[in-house]
Amino acid sequence: MLLCGYGFVARSQKADVPPLFQQQDPLALQIAFSIREVKKSKVDSVFFHSSIKFKVEDAWDSIPMEIRARGNFRRRNCFFPPLRLRMNKKDSEKTIFEGNKSFKLVLPCQTVKSGWDLIMKEYLCYKLLEPLTPYYFHTRLTYITLTNTSGKNPKPYSVIGFIIEDDDLIAHRFDGKVVEKRIHPLQLNDTAAVVLDLFQYMIANTDWSSYGQHNMKVIRARASNVPLAYDFDMAGLVSAPYATVNENLSIRSVKERLYRGFCRNESVVQYVRSEYIKNEPIIMKVIDDHKSYFTDADFKGIKKFINEFFEGIKNDRSFSDAILFPCRKD
């Protein structure tokens, strides 16, 4: 793992990871709910009753659950909203969901199958983070039959998506807790912060903020405030057709990289830089391992995009111009 040195030592045990995320083969699920009703509700505390069916070997089982929409942009602009699923601890016992009180389910934006490519690119972003830090959200691909019960005649859709573990599980894994109040970015562990700042730069994501804690959670672990990144659908690596750039930024395309990290001690930044370069073969292998999910054109494009990142950070002048000089001072 990258996060070591500079007084920051992380530890994690696979035994602390719930069964749901210990396997990486795609999970088959069936869910039915009214998309219109779920999207219409704007109150995060309101959940809708449903059930989730899951395939175990060759048989289907089910347990009750509750569901709500999350993510303001996709709720407004997509047919399928991202979801949060919640279940009773007793109901999930002795099932694949044991140990998970809730988790997120990310779905394609639209019904067209081309949306699957975007979902896979977003999923890949989560997987690319894993070799760089132990502080990440576990994910798992799912093949979902989602039945929309909004109209008189329920309509099923077969889509690909992925589930994301709850931040409470990550905090528990490191004997920590989720930080509920907003903290200043300079109160974050410096090494952990630079790791995520440079990761967001690598995938060309500007839809996040360590200052406003947008698309970011913080956990308190081992006397440090550690950031957790999520929601990468606006990243240049994904290049979703609905992705936009904040007009206050100096870039005009989501494919352009812009470093948005706060300035840190240069020795820390250089340490993280060297670790990224050291982990380049592992990063590229993660991409290779997911080749079967992409078209040849998309696969080559992803490799080229990440290769350009590594070429840039290996060059001292480019690294200084892109990272050291423009880092945020306030």
For 72-83, b where at least 16 C-beta lie within 10 A, e where not — what string?
Answer: ebbbeebbbbbb
For 18-35, b where at least 16 C-beta lie within 10 A, e where not — what string?
Answer: bebbeeeeebebbbbbbb
* pLDDT on residue 4: 46
Position 237: which residue type? L
Q: What is the CA radius of gyration of the chain?
A: 20
* pLDDT on residue 330: 82
| 111: confidence class by pLDDT, cuts 50, 70, 90 | confident
Cα angle 59, 60, 61; round to 5: 125
* pLDDT on residue 16: 77
Bigger pLDDT: 9 vs 278: 278
For the chain, the average pLDDT equals 92
Beta carbons of 144 and 35 less than 8 angstroms apart? no
Beta carbons of 290 and 302 less than 8 angstroms apart? no
Instruction: For residue range 143-201, list pLDDT tens digits in order.
Output: 999 999 998 899 999 999 999 999 999 999 999 999 999 999 999 999 999 999 999 99
Q: Phi-psi bin for 264: left (phi > 0), alpha (psi -120 to 50), beta?
A: beta
* pLDDT on residue 195: 98
* pLDDT on residue 265: 97
Bigger pLDDT: 120 vs 152: 120
Instruction: For residue range 261-320, list pLDDT tens digits in order.
Output: 999 999 999 999 999 999 999 999 999 999 999 999 999 999 999 999 999 999 999 999
Residues whose CB falls within 8 Å of the CB of residue 171, separated by 6 or more in sequence, listed in order: 177, 178, 219, 220, 221
Instruction: For residue range 19-58, list pLDDT tens digits in order.
Output: 899 988 999 999 999 999 999 888 888 999 999 999 988 8
Sign, CA torsion 93/95/98/102: negative
% of the chain surpassing 70 pLDDT: 95
* pLDDT on residue 15: 56
Q: What is the separation of C-alpha 221 from the centre of its chain, rounded to a whole number of angstroms?
A: 20
The residue extents of the domains of the chain are: 25-168, 175-324
Instruction: For residue range 92-107, list pLDDT tens digits in order.
Output: 999 999 999 999 999 9
Beta carbons of 116 and 157 less than 8 angstroms apart? no
* pLDDT on residue 151: 85
Residues whose CB falls within 8 Å of the CB of residue 329, separated by 6 or more in sequence, listed in order: 262, 263
* Most distant CA pair in the chain, distance: 63
